[in-house]
Structure 1
Amino acid sequence: MGGTGVLCQALLLSLVGTIGATLEGSCDGPCGSRPGLKKKITVGHSHTRPGTWPWMVSIQIISQSGGRYHVCGGTLLTPSWVLTAAHCFKDKIDLHVLRLLVGAWEIQWAVSGPLDPRVQERKPVQILIHEQYNIKLNTNDIALVQMSSPAHCGDVVQTACLLHSNESPIRAPESCVVTGWGFRRGEAGLAAPIVQEAKVMVTDLDKCNETDWYHGLVHPNNVCASYSDENMDTCQGDSGGPLMCKDNETKTYVVHGIASWAVGCARTNLPGLYTSTWHFLTWINSKIDSDMKMTNLLSAAETLASYPEILGRGAAQKLEEDFSHSSIPGQPPR
Structure 2
Amino acid sequence: MALLRLLVLLALVGSVWATWDTCRGTCGLRPMAFDRSSAPAEYSQDKDYEILDSSHGSSQDKGGTGIQPGAWPGIVSVQATRENGTWHMCSGALIHPQWVLTVAQCFFGAGDISKWEVVIGATDLSQPGPEAEVRHIQSLIVHRHYNPSTARNNMALLELERPVECSDYIQLGCVPDSSLAVPELRTCYIAGWRAAPDSAPGPRPLLQEAKVRLMDAQVCNSSRWYGGAVQPQELCAGYPRGGIDTCQGDIGGPLVCKDKTRDHFWLVGLASWGKGCAGAKRPGVFTSTQHFHTWILVQMGLLQPEADASPAESFPSLEKELQEDLEDELNPNNSEDYAGGSFQQQILGKFLNLMLELVQFLKGEKA
2:280 aligned residue = 268
Q: Which has the larger radius of gyration?
A: 2
C-alpha deviation, 1:294, in angstroms:
3.7
C-alpha deviation, 1:205, in angstroms:
1.3
Cα distance in 2 for residues equivalent to 1:150 and 1:237: 27
- Aligned pairs for 1:214-225 (under 5 A) are 214-225=226-237
The count of corresponding residues between Structure 1 and Structure 2 is 261
1:161 aligned residue = 174
C-alpha deviation, 1:208, in angstroms:
1.1
**Which stretch shifts more, 159-168 or 201-210?**
159-168
Cα distance in 1 for residues equivalent to 2:155 and 2:180: 20
1:36 aligned residue = 32
Q: Is the 8 A contact 1:182 1:236 kept in 2?
A: yes
Q: 1:191 to 1:147 in 2, by over 3 A?
A: farther
RMSD of Structure 2 on Structure 1 (CA): 3.0
- Give the secondary structure class of the aligned counterpart of 1:281: helix
Code of the residue aligned with 1:53 in structure 2: it is W
Q: 1:173 to 1:27 in 2, by over 3 A?
A: closer
1:97 aligned residue = 115
C-alpha deviation, 1:257, in angstroms:
0.7
2:158 aligned residue = 145
Q: Is the 8 A contact 2:236 2:285 kept in 1?
A: yes
Q: 1:218 to 1:163 in 2, by over 3 A?
A: same
- Aligned pairs for 1:295-306 (under 5 A) are none
Code of the residue aligned with 1:253 in structure 2: it is F
Cα distance in 1 for residues equivalent to 2:192 and 2:162: 24
Code of the residue aligned with 2:97 in structure 1: it is P
- Are residue 76 (structure 1) and residue 94 (structure 2) matched? yes
Cα distance in 1 for residues equivalent to 2:238 and 2:202: 23
State the percentage of identical aligned residues: 36
Code of the residue aligned with 1:74 in structure 2: it is G
Out of 224, 240, 247, which is 1:212 matched to? Answer: 224
Cα distance in 2 for residues equivalent to 1:274 and 1:99: 23
C-alpha deviation, 1:200, in angstroms:
0.8
- Give the secondary structure class of the aligned counterpart of 1:286: helix
Which consecutive residues of structure 1, in runs of 5 or more, have no partner in the other structure?
Answer: 1-8, 13-21, 39-44, 109-113, 296-334
C-alpha deviation, 1:115, in angstroms:
4.8
Q: 1:61 to 1:264 in 2, by over 3 A?
A: farther
Q: 1:23 to 1:178 in 2, by over 3 A?
A: farther
C-alpha deviation, 1:230, in angstroms:
3.1
Cα distance in 1 for residues equivalent to 2:17 and 2:240: 40
2:295 aligned residue = 283
Q: Is the 8 A contact 1:70 1:237 kept in 2?
A: no
Which consecutive residues of structure 2, in runs of 5 or more, have no partner in the other structure?
Answer: 1-8, 35-63, 305-309, 314-367
TM superposition outliers: structure 1 runs of 4+ over 4 Å = 182-185, 189-192, 290-293
Q: Is the 8 A contact 2:188 2:258 kept in 1?
A: yes
Q: Deviations over 1:74-119 (max 9, x none)?
A: 10000100001111111133122211001111113xxxxx852221
Q: 1:179 to 1:46 in 2, by over 3 A?
A: closer
Cα distance in 1 for residues equivalent to 2:173 and 2:144: 24
Q: Is the 8 A contact 1:50 1:105 kept in 2?
A: yes
Q: 1:184 to 1:223 in 2, by over 3 A?
A: farther
Q: 1:46 to 1:274 in 2, by over 3 A?
A: closer
Cα distance in 1 for residues equivalent to 2:170 and 2:185: 30
Cα distance in 1 for residues equivalent to 2:128 and 2:195: 22
- Are residue 106 (structure 1) and residue 118 (structure 2) matched? no
TM-score, structure 2 normalization = 0.64
Q: Is the 8 A contact 2:233 2:287 kept in 1?
A: yes
- Are residue 59 (structure 1) and residue 59 (structure 2) matched? no
2:5 aligned residue = none
- Give the secondary structure class of the aligned counterpart of 1:35: coil
Q: 1:211 to 1:272 in 2, by over 3 A?
A: same
Cα distance in 2 for residues equivalent to 1:192 and 1:115: 11
Q: 1:46 to 1:232 in 2, by over 3 A?
A: closer
Structure with greater helix share of residues = 2
1:122 aligned residue = 135
- Give the secondary structure class of the aligned counterpart of 1:95: coil
Q: Is the 8 A contact 2:28 2:267 kept in 1?
A: no
**Which stretch shifts more, 146-155 or 173-182?**
173-182
TM-score, structure 1 normalization = 0.70
Q: Is the 8 A contact 1:173 1:204 kept in 2?
A: no
Q: Is the 8 A contact 1:183 1:190 kept in 2?
A: no
Q: Deviations over 1:208-241 (max 9, x none)?
A: 1122211110101110112377333112552112
